A and B are shown apart, each in its own frame.
Chain A
Amino acid sequence: MKTHRLLAIVVKELRQLRRDRLTFAMIIGIPVMQLMLFGYAINLDVRGLDAAVLDQADTARSREVIDGLGASQVLDLRYHVTTPRAIDALLREGRISVAVVLPRDFETRLERGDRAALQLVVDGSDQVVQAAARQLARFPLPDTAGWTRRVAPIEVVNFYNPERRAPVNTVPGLIGVILTMTLVLFTAIALVRERENGNLEMLIATPVSPWELTLGKVLPFVAIGLVQVSVVLLLGKGLFAVPVRGSLGELYLAALVFILASLALGIFLSTLARSQFQAMQLAFFTFLPQIMLSGFMFPYAGMPRPAQWLAELLPLTHFLRLVRGIMLRDAGLADLWPSLAALGVFTGLMLGLTVSRLRKRLD
């Protein structure tokens, strides 16, 4: 391996990238667009959720609270029911996604502040509804100002989704999805394009080595991946107040390892494909299971065993564990090292396969 040859390939890649306006725009455009799309779909104030009210207290204050909730426009209080059974039925039938329950001792609970005075029963299988309920839980109840409460006045009860996935889960996950989508695709095309344009035939008749070529094509995208991570983090913080509770340095380290894994996967696909179109199809072929099985869409714990085994093979699964752990639970890489190690092994394997396939021959 000669550094000047590697550098020559990196410089060449960057020059080509700079002239490819559309790709260049996509590098920044895709993260921004996806973040907006996913971010707003989750976090946008939800209005007009179908709701039922069970007012067992039926006092002036309870009616005041219900009016207040109705005025917030988050809930559309369509049903006024008299039994908890009716709420169960409405939820099950999907007629409502939220129920407001004011117990008989609403007033007393409010005064004493030792138990939640109001219950929001929520169809927790829907993340949007969950998010709305969380907002509603901050709704001020009358006469509580100044009181030292041991318990929040409003209690949210999640039906159907005891795991309570927070919507902020999505933005960290989105970092992984965006990196997968762009980086695997770009590098999957990278070598095939050289082959299709005839450049590869010229290159393999020169002293350039497979490692130089592979790394030279991958390295520029490492920088691009890190830029994308930063874009998503900044926008996530600015627009959706997604926190980074753990170490930022560790977050970037995890992202770096995942970027390498994605690029290695992409470049490996590039050695399989015969045309740019095939490369794209292959990239999507790996993209879908990653989205579905990694825990981005559905909780990992809820998947059947074989799906979980499969998920363990996917880099995105491991990255989601890392990024969610670091960003949301303030976990350190010391706690999450198995995922980091898995990504490392995956990267090594893919690069090894790539170089073994990229013999300097045409046949």
Chain B
Amino acid sequence: MTSEPVIRTRGLSKRFGDTLAVDDLSLTVTRGEVYGFLGPNGSGKSTTLRMLCGLLTPSAGNITVLGCELPREAERLKRRLGYMTQSFSLYRDLTVLENLRFLAAIHDLPARGLGRRLHDLMSRYRLDALRDRLAGTLSGGQKQRLALAATVMHTPDLLLLDEPTSAVDPQSRRDFWEALFELADAGTTLLVSTHYMDEAERCTRLAILDQGRLAADDSPRALMDALPGRALRVETGRPRRAHQYLATHPGVIAVAQIGLGLRVLATDRVTPDELAAALTAAGLAARVSADHATLEDVFVAATRRSPPEPGPDPTPS
């Protein structure tokens, strides 16, 4: 049983009218993983998550989640699955406790032991003091804690979280991730979509989605090690001009200004010395040094539309 993947999709696609929101996606998520979905807005993260919990029917491909074949066995799956929507989806005009009680009833939790369960959840997610507050009056972080408590009410084996921290301050984000790791330690498999690099880096495995397609899929470390190209640091007195120049340089994949310096993602063929020489030749004296690859570099390289080097065009055949 342990070897069987929690989520397995093959050739998963979803079409809305003319747009292909998810394109031929094949994923495998194993038990106990904190699996990250990283991608820009509109890359198909939410659509994929919704298909994985049976809310949307795929246009093509097949899905098996926790041994249930979707969408046929969606109802059976719903007892073992927790899905936390992107926007707050509990009732704003009910109190914290009323919301939790409602979810408990909906999930058929037995009346015996319910009081203990609610108490446990409220203390674990620090909701005790808020129990009689209307959910609509909670802060972003408090809402997320309540939503998480409601989502794990029935102790699901798999949690799907759609950008859970997008409306939350940094401290609450860290707290929230602590809570997620706690759940992972307890044996829950988590699939989290995000567009924060620091969050993506904390995942045990990461899928980068770009325009509905799987652009990369590995552990964050492996992805950074395998970065196609190199990260360079450029220090110059005229960063704006240098930025403009580098953006047109053929070996450069991406440029970003960081403070007064520039961070350049270049192809492997470009060496620091070459780039420094090119800049000097353009009348921009600069110091260029190698830098550590970050997940952002991986992300930029993976979701870059223009081909980083001459070769086959990466548009789908």
A residues in contact (CB < 8 Å) with B = 2, 4-5, 7-9, 11-12, 15-16, 19-20, 197-199, 201-208, 360-363
Contact = CB atoms under 8 A, between A and B. Distances in A.
Given A202-B89, A203-B106, 8 more contacts: A11-B102, A16-B94, A199-B91, A201-B85, A201-B89, A202-B83, A205-B83, A206-B107
Interface residues of B, number: 32
A8 B78 contact: no
Interface string B31-65: 00000000000000000001001111100000000
A149 to B, nearest CB: 66
16 contacts: A2-B108, A5-B105, A7-B105, A8-B102, A8-B106, A15-B93, A15-B98, A19-B134, A199-B91, A201-B55, A202-B89, A206-B103, A207-B107, A208-B106, A361-B54, A361-B57
A207 B74 contact: no
B244 to A, nearest CB: 43
B94 A198 contact: no
Nearest to A200: B89
Contact of B93 (A7, A20, A202, A360): A20
B156 to A, nearest CB: 10
Contact of A207 (B53, B71, B79, B83): B79
B92 interface: yes
Contacts of A362: 50, 55-56
A12 B93 CA distance: 10
B273 interface: no
A202 B50 CA distance: 11
A360 B83 CA distance: 14
> Considering the complex of A and B, which 9 residue pairs feature the smallest CB-CB distances, nearest first?
A8-B105, A202-B89, A198-B89, A205-B83, A198-B87, A362-B55, A19-B93, A206-B106, A201-B85
Interface residues of chain B: helix, strand, loop or mixed (majority): loop
B191 interface: no
Among B75, B88, B98, B108: residue with most chain A CB under 10 A: B108
A285 B272 CA distance: 71
B121 interface: no
A4 B291 CA distance: 60
Interface string B93-122: 110001001110111100000000000000
A12 B94 contact: yes
A227 to B, nearest CB: 21
B75 A360 contact: yes
Nearest to A7: B105
Nearest to A199: B89
B91 A16 contact: yes
Contacts of A199: 89-91
Contacts of A12: 91, 94, 98, 102
A206 B50 CA distance: 13
A288 B74 CA distance: 41
Nearest to B16: A363
B290 to A, nearest CB: 46
B259 to A, nearest CB: 39
Contacts of A360: 54-55, 74-75
Contacts of A204: 55
Contacts of A198: 85, 87-89
Contacts of B107: 206-207
B81 interface: yes
A2 B87 CA distance: 28
Contacts of B108: 2, 4-5, 207
